[in-house]
Amino acid sequence: MRLATWNVNSVVVRLPRLVDWLEKSSPDILCLQETKIADDAFPRAEVEALGYEVALHGEGRWNGVAIISRVGMGDVARGFDGQPGFPEAEARAMTATCGGLRVWSVYVPNGRALDSDHFPYKLNWLAALRTALLASQSTSPPLVVCGDFNIAPTDDDVWDPAAFIGSTHVSPQERQALVALTSLGLDDIHPRAFKGRPFTYWDYRAGNFHKGLGMRIDLVLLDHGVTPAVKDAYIDRDARKGTLPSDHAPLVVDLDWPR
């Protein structure tokens, strides 16, 4: 079974590339973030035509998550109990049961700056997500939490730690919030590196992609019981190349798991 997550930074702009990528990579489950579109405007037919079911949690302009599956789509839930807002709840998390897994697509708040109101919002949001995941664990299939976490788990996950001193994404508080999540019994599945370090995001500016100046902030967190089924994990850097790319590349995890 092939599982993937991709922050597409507008599903409308990225639709040709999304369709191409689905055809070429043939994932069984794909989690999307930053779809930036209301549910009734999502290009559902184009994705369904490829044999997928689609579950959506979007809003008009920003944020937006989705789950695309050809191995079932059960018990869809949008948002989570206790989800903080800024100030209103945003479309940043959803879950569905696909292929015997409780799959989450999450778009963690950016945080913006350590002294921004958005930073405590990010930390509170992560803590609330942890509480919701913990509450669900006894009754749900094995957890698979996929998405753009906007956190580089360690200094190895940024191109130059010195360049990030005083920035979000690398602070001890954010990293601790991520450790608290994985302490629920989840493993951060590291993609293998090829052609550079295993980054998933490169800023559009300043030619950062071509200079290899990226970050690993998109993650797949797998239940301990699922981790032994991992056969491969990689980043599709090709999806970051060429015309009109997202600033994120897809993270793909192949599992020896019954579909």
Positions of E strands within the chain: 2-7, 29-33, 53-57, 65-69, 74-78, 93-98, 101-107, 143-148, 186-188, 218-223, 230-235, 251-255
Q: How many residues does the chain have?
A: 259
Interaction between residue 193 and DNA (CB under 7 A)? no
Q: Which of the stretches 54-62, 73-81, 137-145, 249-257 binds DNA when contact is defined by CB under 7 A?
A: 54-62
Interaction between residue 184 and DNA (CB under 7 A)? no
Interaction between residue 25 and DNA (CB under 7 A)? no
Sheet bearing 230-235, strands edge to edge: 53-57, 65-69, 29-33, 2-7, 251-255, 230-235
Binding-site string for DNA from residue 144 to residue 173, where x marks contact by CB under 7 A and - marks none: ------x------------x---x------
**C-alpha distances in Å from residue 36, one per residue of 63, 67, 154:** 5, 14, 29
CA 69, CA 144: separation in Å to the nearest integer? 14
Q: Which of the stretches 43-51, 136-144, 171-179, 201-209 binds DNA when contact is defined by CB under 7 A?
A: 201-209
Interaction between residue 12 and DNA (CB under 7 A)? yes
Q: Select 213 or 235, whichever has its Cβ closest to DNA.
A: 213
Interaction between residue 61 and DNA (CB under 7 A)? yes
Query: How far is the first Cα of the chain from the last one, in angstroms, to the nearest whole number?
Result: 6
Site for DNA in 232-251 (CB under 7 A): 244
Pick from 208, 227, 234, 238 the residue near DNA by CB under 7 A.
208
CA 137, CA 115: separation in Å to the nearest integer? 34
Interaction between residue 216 and DNA (CB under 7 A)? no
Cβ neighbours of residue 245 under 8 Å, at least 6 residues apart? 17, 239
Rounded to a whole number of angstroms, the minimum distance from the CB of residue 24 to DNA is 20
Pick from 20, 81, 156, 203 the residue near DNA by CB under 7 A.
203
Interaction between residue 213 and DNA (CB under 7 A)? yes
Rounded to a whole number of angstroms, the minimum distance from the CB of residue 165 to DNA is 11
Q: Which of 135, 133, 140 is nearest to 186 (CA)?
A: 133
Site for DNA in 86-145 (CB under 7 A): 109-110, 112, 118
Cis peptide before 87 (omega within 30 of 0): yes
Site residue total, DNA (CB under 7 A): 25
Q: Which of the stretches 60-68, 76-84, 176-184, 230-238 binds DNA when contact is defined by CB under 7 A?
A: 60-68
List, in sequence order, every residue forming a beta bridge with 158; answer none if it has no partner: 215
CA 118, CA 76: separation in Å to the nearest integer? 28
Q: Select 14 or 102, whichever has its Cβ closest to DNA.
A: 14
Residues of this chain that bind DNA (CB under 7 A): 9-10, 12-13, 36-37, 60-62, 109-110, 112, 118, 150, 163, 167, 203-208, 211, 213, 244
